Structure 1
Amino acid sequence: MSESSIGPGEFYQVVGVGPHSKPWPTDNHFDPQLLEHGDRRNVLDKYRYWKIESIVADLNTKRHELQIAIENWQHDLNIGSIVRTANAFNVAAVHIVGKRDWNKRGAMVTDRYLTVHHHATVDEFKAWCDKENLPIIGIDNLEVSKQLESADLPKRCVMLFGQEGSGMSDEAVAVCSVVLAISQYGSTRSMNASAAGAIAMYAWAMQHLNPINHPKN
């Protein structure tokens, strides 16, 4: 496969845009440094040359009611990928449950545009959710799991994901209102945690958003 057929993205340098032609726009949300030197960030075209805080402020006006939580006991690389997907769905918040330091490599700095909470224990996370009256929906392939595809997902909820390999801890399973599994049709018992996260978030979006008529930018 040639570079021209791959295009910008995960495996090819994102070109972005170069310096802005003068006269520069004067709106306060523009970053003079980006206007002068160019904007190579992986952001929507509408956010080109914008300050990070201005992008966050705009996203905050249209956050969705879904929140995402990930257990972090082993510094799992997949956490960053799930956070990146959470950014794509503009979730209300992300929760790191366990160790405070998490592997941000896969997030590709998208966590800068999200509200990220830390909870040292599952019990602490559960107490926070109870205070906010948010049901916890576990996503894992367990004996107690029900089918994601046929589930009615609450509009306001937190989806909780476990670690790659080990899955959700027993403590995490115990605090869930329900645990849902993604139907699989091959020989493998489970799929990659970040892939499961993307599928689960998309399932929620299909029930509560209108992706068919959603503009690209």
Structure 2
Amino acid sequence: MITSTANAQVKELVRLMKKNRAREEAGVFVAEGPRMVGELVSDGRMKGRVERICLSESYVQKHREEADSLGGICRTEVFADNVFAHISDTKTPQGILAVVKRLEYGMDDILGKKPGKQVGEQPEHAHVLVLDNLQDPGNLGTVFRTAEAAGATGIVLSRDCVDVYNPKVTRSTMGAVFRVPFLYVDDLVGTIGELKQSGLRVYAAHLEGKNAYDREDYKSACAFLIGNEGNGLRDEVAACADCRIRIPMYGKAESLNAAVAAAVLMFEVSRQRRL
């Protein structure tokens, strides 16, 4: 059992929790909590990506059988409760976390293309969310959960969006980060051009939208552009859209939370396609 916060493994785990660069260099992320770790070890695709599982002393005492079974999956380490609390990203640590190899996706994954599709074939069911400089971890986590629930095929993020592997984001996705393909890009404008070339009609959620969002037809391949929480879409990104749409609102509200706006649009796609 590891009992000192000066231990090299403890210092490494703290870096992985706090530093995006450390996670990138190691090619891993940290998933904390029994629900997240449980999803990892029960998912055949993700199970093989778990590098190690860290447990607090009290968690092992309460869940001895489970702790023993986890040892058969990958390397496990036990930490004194105060040391685990030092590592944890939460105020009330739940006593279990996993270090996991990162997932890698390409544009075919974002478009939801199935193996065997011909190059250039239009992905008619593609339903993509494009995020421009989204900064709030809770918003991004909610977007991932909603994207999975609404049947989106993937998420494209500008490089300056908050890191999806930030522990707060990962935790708030409630496991959706393991299942929804996503791709960070350096050239968001160029990537939107690729989506259009692949046959997607691109809509910008915008206060200057010509039509209400529910007046458009989303049954064919489509993508939605969602902007920064405070500033909305950058002009050069909004200019890429085939159509600007708005969400009608009562009262004095000028705009919706980015995650809420994304949810309204994604579920309208789901509604139209379901009907």
TM-score norm. by structure 2 comes to: 0.51
Correspondence for 1:88: 149
Distance 1:178 1:93, change over 3 A: same
| 1:184 aligned to which of 240, 249, 254 | 249
| 2:227 aligned to which of 145, 159, 162 | 162
Distance 1:86 1:181, change over 3 A: same
Distance 1:208 1:122, change over 3 A: same
SS of 1:176's partner is coil
1:59-90 Cα deviation digits (max 9, x unpaired): 998x9531111112645642221121001123
| Alpha-carbon contact 1:76-1:163 (below 8 Å) kept | no
CA RMSD, 1 decimal:
3.6
SS of 1:72's partner is coil
The offset of 1:144, in angstroms, is 4.0
Give the length in aligned residue pairs: 166
Choose between structure 1 and 2: higher strand proportion.
Answer: 2
| Alpha-carbon contact 2:152-2:266 (below 8 Å) kept | no
| Alpha-carbon contact 1:73-1:98 (below 8 Å) kept | no
Correspondence for 1:69: 130
1:156-184 Cα deviation digits (max 9, x unpaired): 11111111121111011100011111110
1:166-208 Cα deviation digits (max 9, x unpaired): 1111011100011111110111111111111111111111211
Unaligned residue ranges in structure 1 (runs of 5+): 1-12, 19-27, 39-52, 54-58, 211-217
1:118-137 correspondence runs (5 A): 118-137=184-203
CA distance in 2, matches of 1:73, 1:188: 20
SS of 2:132's partner is strand
Task: Name whichever of 124-133 and 77-86 sits farther off.
Answer: 124-133
CA distance in 1, matches of 2:228, 2:137: 7
SS of 2:266's partner is helix
Task: Name whichever of 101-110 and 87-96 sits farther off.
Answer: 101-110
Distance 1:109 1:189, change over 3 A: same
Correspondence for 2:262: 197
TM-score norm. by structure 1 comes to: 0.63
| Alpha-carbon contact 1:70-1:79 (below 8 Å) kept | no
| Alpha-carbon contact 1:149-1:183 (below 8 Å) kept | no
Correspondence for 2:159: 98
Unaligned residue ranges in structure 2 (runs of 5+): 1-32, 39-43, 48-64, 68-102, 104-111, 115-123
| Alpha-carbon contact 2:154-2:180 (below 8 Å) kept | yes
Opposite residue 178 of structure 2, the aligned amino acid is R
The offset of 1:116, in angstroms, is 0.8
SS of 1:185's partner is coil
Opposite residue 181 of structure 1, the aligned amino acid is R
